Structure 1
């Protein structure tokens, strides 16, 4: 029986923060660069600004045109699928208006994936795969299997998880597991 891998969507497959930064700059008169924005994700917004930003990202098409975070991701997932059962586990409950757009994005980039292997969830503690690749320390901490931290500037100081910086490192890690 194949081992299983769950893969987060935002900031592991899709470049959510690039679009979020552009949306934030456009609507709040700021001029964050991509790097600055990734390092300042914990900023405190006034309540009204936070509400407006949520409304903007909760628009039905917001997630549909996100860029692929790493061009190697698709090829690596296809290769891993030969050895592992692959699932996409995205915390879509955080932005309930995103379901259709996230599904369309996944079908555009991963048309070879079984649709039954797409999981829209909140807390990923409900995911019972062998591995989870995620950028969120909270999601990885709740997960019961082996958590793999997809490195981002905002999780650089988090310890306790295997770390990968890109999809070539994901390939090396999991293909190394197959050959053991």
Structure 2
């Protein structure tokens, strides 16, 4: 019998882009922004100097240096024992991110084969049993089970089962007994 398939988003799910925005903003402006200030606002907005954070998405090195979401490595490694796992990123929107994301995955998730990495534009092409993503636009048209990974920009979404941490994801898939997730 074939393993069930899980499609996992990178940005905001495996890579903590919200913390990265905050850190890069502070490094470039000296202004500290608390994550609470970003709650319920569209991604990249809510910073005192509007527009600067969106510029980061086009800046070489941004995607390569994103911090790993706590617990993601351990849980994904465990999921791969019982599921077919694909990393699916709408990376084509930011062409310079393609090589950076490949390098980032090789460094932080070396156990994921290049054969299980999918870069696309729209994720409507994705066919899997489960999708873990932080965006409604990616989950809305997905035919399988939708797992919304909590991020400041999606805090007001009500239409999905919400997962705040990778520990929550581990519990959903029944792998929590083998994983200790710290934040």
TM above 0.5: yes
> 2:180 — aligned with what?
none
Match of 1:162 in 2: 161
The residue aligned with 1:35 is 36
TM-score, length-scaled by structure 2: 0.82
- Matched residue SS, 2:60: coil
**Cα pair 2:35 2:152 within 8 Å, conserved:** no
Higher helix share: 1
- Which stretch of the first structure deviates more once superposed, 158-167 or 16-25? 16-25
Following superposition, the deviation at residue 55 of structure 1 comes to 4.2
Q: Which runs of 5+ in 2 are unaligned?
A: 176-183
Measured against aligned partners, the alpha-carbon deviations of 1:13-65 in whole angstroms (never above 9, x if no partner) come to 111111222334555675422331344336489xxx63x65443223321111
Contact 2:37 2:46 (C-alpha < 8 Å) held by counterparts? no
**Contact kept? 1:5, 1:87, Cα under 8 Å:** yes
SS of the residue corresponding to residue 121 of structure 2 reads: coil
Q: How many residues align?
A: 172
SS of the residue corresponding to residue 78 of structure 1 reads helix
Contact persistence 1:80–1:175 (CA under 8 A): no
In structure 1, C-alpha distance between the alignment counterparts of 2:162 and 2:53, rounded to whole Å: 30
TM-score by length of 1: 0.83
